[in-house]
RNA sequence: UGGGCCGUCGCCAAGCGGUAAGGCACCGGAUUUUGAUUCCGGCAUUCCCAGGUUCGAAUCCUGGCGGCCCAGCCA
C-alpha cells in the first residue's frame, strides 16, 4: 500500500500503451509546455508544467518550452522572461529546446499555401461580424461565404498579397474549407490567418499576417515531433480541427492531442484576464503580490518549488472537475517547510513583560536549536533580558476555558528559557493592558519544576535586543470559493482582510536574514523575508501553523 | 433544445468484471519546552439514479438525472 497517491494517470497510461504497441519508442515521448507570453504563470500552469516536464523526465523523453506567440498585440517580452524564470524555479529544464511559434512563421505560411493549393483553404473578404453571422449558431448550421468558391489561383494571389501588406487590417482572412454545417462549430471554416499590423516581440515588423492558435499550434507540434500534445479540456472540441490540419498538411510527424481538466483552486482566480485586472486595477501590488496564485506570487510568499510540485502530484490528472481546496496547497507547503525551515521567534503583537527578579543589565545568551528534529540546522544564540516582548494573545486577564497561556498569578514557560509567573497587570487610563510584571523561576532553565506542572509555552523576544520588523499576514484573496461563478463582477468578492500588516519584533538573528529566506516563527507559522524590499526588514507569512486551539476556542 | 466531455467520501483520486487504495479535511486519543511536528485509531456494506447482462457489476448494456465546455479575425 502506497502512502502517496498513485503517480500514474490516464495520460501516462496512454503513453505506456503507445510504447507497448510500438507507436513510439521507449524514450521517444516528446511533450511541450506552450504558454502564450501574455501574463505570468499561475498554479494552473504549474499543473501543466509538472505533467509535461514530469512525463519527459520519467520516460527519458523530451519536453520543449514553446511560446505560443501568435498574437503580438497581447504579448510582451517581459512575460517571456518571467515565464522562463518561473519554469526554471519550479525545477524544470528544457535544455536546448526553447522555441517560439514565431520561429515557424515562414514554415506555417508554406503550410497555408499548401492548403490553398489543395483547395482546402480560401481567402474570405467577409467582415468579422459577417463571418460571425454566417457561422450559424449552436443549433443552426452555418452558411457558405460568397467567397468560399474562389479559384486556387485567386486564393493564392490574394493570400500572397495579404502577406505583402496590400490590404488593411481585418480586410480579409484565410479560412480552412471544411464544413459550414458541422455540428462542431470549430469545423465551420475556421480562420487560419488574419491581417494585423502589430510589431511582434520576436519578429518585429517582418509580418503583417499572423496565424491563429489552432493552425499554429497543431503544426508547431508536428514540426517539433511532439508525440503527445497535452492541453486542457476546453480544447477537446478543437481536436477534430487539430487532426484535420495534421492530416491535410504534408508533415514529417503526426502528433496527437490529449486533454485533461484544468485546475480550479478554491478562493482564487486563475484566468489570465482576471489576474491581469487584479494587477492593472491595483487590487494587488503586482503579478508577484503574495496573494496572487501566480508562481511568482507563491514564490514571494515563501512557497517552495518542492511544495508546488507535491501539490501538483497530489491533485492528480483526470478529465473530471479539479476543484481543489486551498487546504491541500497549505498542507503541501507546511509539509515541506516543517522539514526544512529553521525556527526563530517573532512577536507579532508586542506586549511588554518586565521580570522583577532579573537585573537591569542582565544579558544571558541561550543556545537554541534551529530545528527540533534536524540537528544539521545547528543552533543560535538568543539573548534573554529583564524586559521582553510577548504576544498579546498569549496573555488573558479573563481567560476562556482551556486557555493554557499566561494569566494573572499564573505560570507559563518561555520557549527555550525560564518559567515565569505573572505578578501584576499594568493598565492604562482606558483599562487597556499595557505591561506585565513577572518573575522567573531560576531553577527552570532546561528543567521542569518537580512540584508542579506548567502547561503553556509561549514565544518571546528580548526588548533590548529585539529588532522591529514589518510582518505581512496574508490570507485568501477572495471570500467565496468560486469567485468566477458568482453573479456580477468577481472583484466584489475580494477578501478585505487578505492582507494585515503587523509591526512586530523579531529576535536579532532575523535582522541578518537573506532576502527570500524562509523560517518558522514558532507557534505562528512560516514566513519569508520579502525580496521586493531588501532595504527594510519585512516578512511575508507563507502559511500559518495548524491551529487546534483556535478551533477549540471558536467553539465556545 | 446542436456538438463534445465528466459524475467513486466534504475536496482530490485509485480502481479497467472477482467483492471500495491513498492524500487533504474532519473526529477522537498518545507523546511533546511550538495548542506545531510525530504517532495510533475512526471516517463510502457502496460508487448520480433506474432497469438489464452475469455465478459475480463502480467496472459491460439501456434509459434517465446532474455538472462543465463550445457560436474570437484570443489562446
pLDDT tens track for A308-362 = 999 999 999 999 999 999 999 999 999 999 999 999 999 999 999 999 999 999 9
A262 labelled ligand-binding = yes
Q: Which nucleotides of strand B come closer than 7 angstroms to any CB of the protein? A: 1-8, 10-16, 21-27, 33-38, 67-75
DSSP string, A475-532: --SBSSS-GGGSSS-GGGGB-TTSEEEEEEEE-GGGGGPPTT-EEEETTTEEEEE-SS
By the 8 A CB rule, do A467 and A511 touch? yes
Residues of A with a catalytic annotation lie at 36, 262, 272
Confidence of residue A488 (pLDDT cuts 50, 70, 90): confident
Which pLDDT score is estimated for A2? Answer: 37
Of the candidates A322, A461, A330, A337, which has an alpha carbon nearest to the alpha carbon of residue A387? A461
**Any idea which nucleotide's C1' is nearest the CA of A418?**
B33
By the 8 A CB rule, do A443 and A449 touch? yes
Distance CA(A185)–CA(A536), nearest Å, equals 56
Distance CA(A384)–CA(A331), nearest Å, equals 34
Enter the pTM of the model.
0.96
Residue A5 has pLDDT above 70, yes or no: no
Distance CA(A148)–CA(A125), nearest Å, equals 10
Residue A517 has pLDDT above 90, yes or no: yes
A534 labelled ligand-binding = no
CA of A7 to C1' of B15 (A): 14
Mean predicted lDDT score pLDDT of chain A: 97
Distance CA(A57)–CA(A29), nearest Å, equals 10
Domains and CATH numbers, chain A: 5-260 (3.40.50.620), 266-342+469-554 (1.10.1160.10), 352-463 (2.40.240.10)
Q: Could you tell me if residue A378 is left (phi over 0), alpha (psi between -120 and 50 degrees) or otherwise beta?
A: left
For residue A197, what are the contacts with CB-CB under 8 A and spacing of at least 6? Answer: A165, A169, A208
Mean pLDDT of A478-493: 93
Dihedral, CA of residue A358, residue A363, residue A364 and residue A365, to nearest 10: 150
pLDDT of A233-281, one tens digit each? 999 999 999 999 999 999 999 999 999 999 999 999 999 999 999 999 9
CA of A292 to C1' of B45 (A): 45
For residue A158, what are the contacts with CB-CB under 8 A and spacing of at least 6? Answer: A123, A150, A172
Decide: helix, strand or coil at residue A438. Answer: strand
pLDDT of A371-409, one tens digit each? 999 999 999 999 999 999 999 999 999 999 999 999 999
Dihedral, CA of residue A231, residue A237, residue A238 and residue A243, to nearest 10: 100
Distance CA(A82)–CA(A75), nearest Å, equals 12
Confidence of residue A6 (pLDDT cuts 50, 70, 90): low
CA of A323 to C1' of B42 (A): 26
By the 8 A CB rule, do A16 and A7 touch? no
Residue A1 has pLDDT above 60, yes or no: no
Amino acid at each position: 500500500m502506497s502512502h502517496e497517491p498513485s503517480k500514474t494517470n490516464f495520460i501516462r497510461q496512454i503513453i505506456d500503451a503507445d510504447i507497448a504497441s510500438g507507436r513510439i519508442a521507449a524514450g521517444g515521448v516528446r511533450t511541450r509546455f506552450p504558454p502564450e507570453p501574455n501574463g505570468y504563470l499561475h498554479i494552473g500552469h504549474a499543473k501543466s508544467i509538472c505533467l509535461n516536464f514530469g512525463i519527459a523526465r520519467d520516460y527519458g523523453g523530451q519536453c520543449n518550452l514553446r511560446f505560443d506567440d501568435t498574437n503580438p498585440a497581447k504579448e510582451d517580452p517581459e512575460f517571456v522572461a518571467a515565464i522562463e524564470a518561473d519554469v526554471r524555479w519550479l525545477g524544470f529544464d528544457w535544455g536546448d529546446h526553447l522555441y517560439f511559434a514565431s520561429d515557424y512563421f515562414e514554415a506555417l505560411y508554406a503550410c497555408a499555401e499548401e492548403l490553398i493549393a489543395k483547395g482546402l483553404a480560401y481567402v474570405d473578404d467577409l467582415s468579422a461580424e459577417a463571418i460571425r453571422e454566417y457561422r450559424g449558431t449552436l443549433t443552426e448550421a452555418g452558411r457558405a461565404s460568397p467567397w468560399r468558391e474562389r479559384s486556387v489561383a485567386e486564393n493564392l494571389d490574394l493570400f500572397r498579397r495579404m502577406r505583402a501588406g496590400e490590404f488593411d487590417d481585418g480586410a480579409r482572412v484565410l479560412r480552412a474549407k471544411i464544413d459550414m454545417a458541422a455540428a462542431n462549430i470549430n469545423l465551420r471554416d475556421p480562420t487560419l490567418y488574419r491581417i494585423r499590423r502589430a510589431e511582434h516581440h520576436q519578429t518585429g515588423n517582418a509580418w503583417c499576417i499572423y496565424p491563429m492558435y489552432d493552425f499554429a499550434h497543431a503544426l508547431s507540434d508536428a514540426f517539433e515531433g511532439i508525440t503527445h500534445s497535452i492541453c486542457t479540456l476546453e480544447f477537446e472540441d478543437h481536436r477534430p480541427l487539430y487532426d484535420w490540419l495534421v492530416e491535410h498538411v504534408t508533415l514529417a510527424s503526426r502528433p496527437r492531442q490529449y486533454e485533461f481538466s484544468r485546475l480550479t483552486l478554491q478562493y482564487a482566480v486563475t484566468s489570465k484576464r482576471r489576474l491581469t485586472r487584479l494587477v492593472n486595477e491595483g487590487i494587488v501590488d503586482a503579478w508577484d503580490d503574495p496573494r496572487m496564485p501566480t508562481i511568482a506570487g507563491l514564490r514571494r510568499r515563501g512557497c517552495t518549488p518542492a511544495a508546488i510540485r507535491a501539490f501538483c502530484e497530489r491533485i492528480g490528472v483526470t478529465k473530471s472537475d479539479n476543484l481543489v481546496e486551498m487546504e491541500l496547497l497549505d498542507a503541501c507547503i507546511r509539509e515541506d517547510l516543517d522539514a526544512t525551515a529553521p525556527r526563530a521567534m517573532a512577536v507579532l503583537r508586542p506586549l511588554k513583560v518586565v521580570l522583577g527578579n532579573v537585573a537591569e543589565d542582565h544579558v544571558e545568551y541561550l543556545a537554541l536549536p534551529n530545528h527540533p528534529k534536524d540537528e544539521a540546522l545547528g543552533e543560535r544564540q538568543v539573548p534573554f533580558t529583564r524586559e521582553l516582548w510577548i504576544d498579546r494573545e498569549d496573555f488573558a486577564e479573563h481567560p476562556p476555558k482551556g486557555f493554557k497561556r499566561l494569566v494573572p498569578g499564573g505560570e507559563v514557560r518561555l520557549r527555550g528559557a525560564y518559567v515565569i509567573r505573572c505578578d501584576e497587570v499594568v493598565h492604562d487610563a482606558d483599562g487597556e493592558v499595557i505591561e506585565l510584571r513577572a518573575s522567573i523561576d531560576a531553577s527552570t532553565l532546561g528543567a521542569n519544576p518537580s512540584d508542579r506542572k506548567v502547561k503553556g509555552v509561549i514565544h518571546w523576544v528580548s526588548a533590548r535586543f529585539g529588532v522591529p520588523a514589518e510582518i505581512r499576514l496574508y490570507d485568501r484573496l477572495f471570500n467565496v470559493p468560486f469567485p468566477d461563478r458568482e453573479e456580477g463582477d468577481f472583484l466584489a468578492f475580494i477578501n478585505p482582510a487578505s492582507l494585515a500588516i503587523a509591526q512586530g519584533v523579531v529576535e536579532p538573528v532575523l535582522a541578518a536574514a537573506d532576502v527570500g529566506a524562509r523560517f518558522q516563527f514558532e507557534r505562528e507559522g512560516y514566513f519569508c523575508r520579502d525580496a521586493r524590499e531588501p532595504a527594510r526588514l519585512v516578512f511575508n507569512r507563507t502559511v500559518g501553523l495548524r491551529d487546534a486551539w483556535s478551533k477549540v476556542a471558536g467553539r465556545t
